[in-house]
Amino acid sequence: MKAIIYNNRAEAKRIKVFIPYKRHDFRKQVKGLNSSFWHPEQKLWSVVNTEEKFNLLKSIFGKDYVIESGKIPKPVKRRELSEASIDAIFELEKKLTLKGYGNSTISTYKNMLTVFFSKFMNYDLKQITKEQIEGFVYQLIKENNISESYQNQMINAIKAYYEHVLGLPREFYEIERPKKSIKIPNVLSEEEVFKIIQNPKNLKHRAILWTIYSGGLRISESINLRIADINSKDGYIFIKGAKGKKDRKTILSEHLLIMLRNYYVKFKPSYWLFEGQTGGKYSVTSIRNIFRKAVKNTNSNPWATVHTLRHSFATHCIQNGVNMRHIQNMLGHSSPKTTEIYTKTIEINNKKIKSPLDNILKNNTFDT
């Protein structure tokens, strides 16, 4: 992902810039510029709109930027909520907690409902029509340029409230959604993966990266692994209560097993497979830092994240001829369609695939 310089009008006072989360180098340099300012609601940086500053931004970003003339996202306005609205949000939180929703989902829904109730605080919520709700979402799109993700989160929160708190039938809250975009996951080559997971000198750090890649784990799943989840006898890793509260099994690499045994002897974890210095689970932040350092040290794809190891695992399994049903089960996907996206990530080049043009012209003379 590249930095974005928004092409403002000439009379605009400031130039706004989006910096991808992983580009700490960009952020540090822009932060150090005279007149730089962070806009937390928009997640954008800005500097004074001068030709000198514009050229300086381009110099900082090098080739890793694009200029967009589209609308800049605007902060969504909120009002102080009434006691009734606060109570309504609490009721949703209580219902979702009882139903076992995750803390992250509950927090997102509460945040979205704060915006929704800012608009409809003085209405009888049971009397609001589907058309009014769609008009509200439409207004957010046109006036605030909200993303597809924000739009879907808002709709999910509203649906959850009407379903779980007000108990209205499904047809009431079937609100129009944006057409789902299909994005191809970022993946690493086998050579890049090898360099990255071998880079850490610390045995624990290396074992963590090996485990995530070798089993296609999410970062949260890796820190939740218990010693008992490594089933060396039958050759699998047990993943308990993963996304969607689903248990599953994934493959246990023979080479990983040897490394984990060495790791166990040296670090002697008591319950969790990967423990912090003071006991308890290893932290997500620490794993991300280990990965970022390895990426930087090996000059690998700077856009890669820890989750890219999971994408790479799935892609490499397909390239190695592993059955799609097995891959689906190892990744914990409910639908095979989710797994099939990895068929689009397979490397395409003329060393692996022959163009039909080459076959036609192979035994024929031709002019070029």
Beta-strand relationship, 3-6 and 37-39: unpaired
> DSSP characters for 273-299?
SSB-TTSSBPPHHHHHHHHHHHHHHHT
Question: Could you give phi then psi for residue 308, rounded to 5 degrees?
Answer: -65, -30
The tens digit of pLDDT for each residue in 175-189 reads 767 666 666 788 899
State which H helix or E strand residue 315 sits in: helix 306-319
Choose between 180 and 126: higher pLDDT. 126
Full set of structural domains in the chain with CATH: 3-68 (no CATH), 83-173 (1.10.150.130), 190-344 (1.10.443.10)
Helix (H, G, I), strand (E, B) or coil at 39: strand
Is residue 349 pLDDT above 80, yes or no? no
The structure tokens 């057409």 sit at 179
Closest-CA residue to 209 (of 248, 247, 256)? 256
Q: What is the pLDDT of residues 13-23, one digit of tens each?
A: 788 888 988 88
Query: Which DSSP state fits 165?
Result: I
**Amino acid identity, position 109:** Y
pLDDT for 193 beyond 70: yes
Please state, in angstroms and as integers, the Cα–Cα distance from residue 293 to each residue in 191, 259, 308, 312, following that order. Answer: 17, 21, 15, 19
Catalytic positions are 218, 243, 307, 310, 333, 342
pTM across the whole model = 0.63
Cα–Cα distance for residue pair 79/141, rounded to 1 Å: 19
Task: Read off the tokens for 173.
Answer: 């809250």
pLDDT-derived band of residue 357, with 50, 70 and 90 as boundaries? Answer: low
Q: Return d(Cα 84, Cα 35) in angstroms, integer.
A: 43
Span 48-103, pLDDT tens digits = 888 788 888 988 998 888 887 655 566 777 778 888 889 989 999 999 999 888 88
The pLDDT tens digits of the residues spanning 266-325 come to 999 999 999 988 888 999 999 999 999 999 899 888 778 899 999 999 999 998 899 999
> What is the separation of C-alpha 22 from the centre of its chain, rounded to a whole number of angstroms?
12
Report the pLDDT value the prediction gives residue 259, as an integer from 0 to 100: 95
